[in-house]
Amino acid sequence: MRCMPKVLPLNGDDAAAYAMKQIDPDVVAAYPITPQTELMQSFSQFVADGSVQTELIVAESEHSALSACVGACAAGGRVMTATSSQGLAYMWEILYIAAGYRLPIVMNVINRTLSGPINIHCDHSDTMGARDSGWLQIYGENPQEAYDNTIQAVRIAEHKDLRLPVMCCMDGFITSHAVERVELLDDDVVKDFVGEYVPTHPLLDIEHPVTYGPLDLYDYFFEHKMQEIDAMSHAEAVVREVSEEFGKIAGRRYSLLEPYAMDDAESAIIVLSSTAGTTRATVKAMRRAGKKVGMIKLRCFRPFPKDDMVRLLDGVKAVAVLDRSDGLGAYGAPVFNEVRNALFDEDFRPQIVNYVYGLGGRDIGQADIAKVYADLAEIISTGKVKQRVRYLGVRE
């Protein structure tokens, strides 16, 4: 079913808040932090206006906010929240608890640099640190994707094969505060798509008493973690299924990653979030000049779509992975490690280099991206990599 879209000028925060309004979750518990504040401000306005039935818990910290989400979700509610940076850091121990108890909470994370020194602008150091917490991570490129991802995340998290929490990530300020054209679905269409939440073991079902969070020592913890690992192994299929179904109602197609101009590409950049837009524009311009360049936008970092990535890189000669966070002390940053690791078993292995960029919100433009493609062209022509891990846009 396709309906005529309503189009509004919205920034990423307001687009995600509008999705939350249409989802109308049972409980939202949150604490404000830049650049997430505007999202929660918009949503609390919907609560104040009576546009949603949501019980809004204004917690005294992010630790308490996510704890309240855990309690409300265990009680049987559909639960959402949002945060950024230090707020995510303060939620840390509860992140693992939400995933470990298999609570399908959906959280928008507006990516912001972790202190210190203190900074309010975008990099991915906050969510990259949480990559092994048992939450799925979907990275949106623009306000439209912030809206679309929020709606899909509810279905993904609550899927019977998964029952895991989901983070929808968008770039702080770049996406969260920049107004763009956003196509909105009708309220009824979203309502039908997300459906009614059916909890599996709600605490409020007093006919079937259940204990959440008992002590779980060496004799059972490993088995419970194994269940979580097994659930995550279904995540790729779940994301694909929900994305395809969403495509039918929205006309916007999503998957775990999005290739652009990859069919005959000799060099490729792999990138997340808003920088994918900058890269796409650069590729478009370079293609007009006859350069065989391409891009893979990684939409899902958790689960990491290893097989799709390997398949897309088959035949590519040189690859640059752009990371908006560093892996201090590691050999390369998180996305680089993941992609390079995925290629180890393959007969065909491209040269692959890592560019750490944009830390603390440092701007990145098409000239920077073009420089990366020029570096890749040099690697292809010389067959040599001068420096495997590089830092793009930092002053010496």
Partner 1 sequence: MTEKPGWKTIPPGGLILAAGNAKEYKTGEWRTQRPVINKDLCSDCLTCWINCPDSSIVVADGKFKGFDLDHCKGCGICMAVCPKKAIRMEPER
Which residues sit at the interface with partner 1, rule CB under 8 A?
A: 100-103, 163, 200-201, 208-214, 216, 219-224, 226-228, 230
Least distance (Å) between residue 214 CB and partner 1 = 6
Question: Is the distance from CB of 111 to CB of 127 less than 8 angstroms?
Answer: yes
Least distance (Å) between residue 210 CB and partner 1 = 5
Kindly tell me which of 221 and 348 has the beta carbon lying closer to partner 1: 221
Kindly tell me which of 118 and 229 has the beta carbon lying closer to partner 1: 229
DSSP H or E segment with residue 357 = strand 351-357
Least distance (Å) between residue 81 CB and partner 1 = 19
The arrangement of strands across the sheet holding 27-30 comes to 55-58, 27-30, 79-83, 106-111, 166-171, 136-139, 300-302
Kindly tell me which of 224 and 349 has the beta carbon lying closer to partner 1: 224
Kindly tell me which of 110 and 203 has the beta carbon lying closer to partner 1: 203
Distance in angstroms (rounded) separating the CA atoms of residues 268 and 257: 14
Kindly tell me which of 157 and 372 has the beta carbon lying closer to partner 1: 157
Residue 327 identity: G
Distance in angstroms (rounded) separating the CA atoms of residues 170 and 143: 8
Question: Is the distance from CB of 299 to CB of 258 less than 8 angstroms?
Answer: yes
Locate 27 and state its tokens: 């409980």
Closest alpha carbon to 275 in 139, 146, 183: 139
Distance in angstroms (rounded) separating the CA atoms of residues 214 and 20: 32
- Quick one: DSSP state of residue 361? G
Least distance (Å) between residue 164 CB and partner 1 = 10
Kindly tell me which of 222 and 348 has the beta carbon lying closer to partner 1: 222
Least distance (Å) between residue 106 CB and partner 1 = 17
Least distance (Å) between residue 379 CB and partner 1 = 45
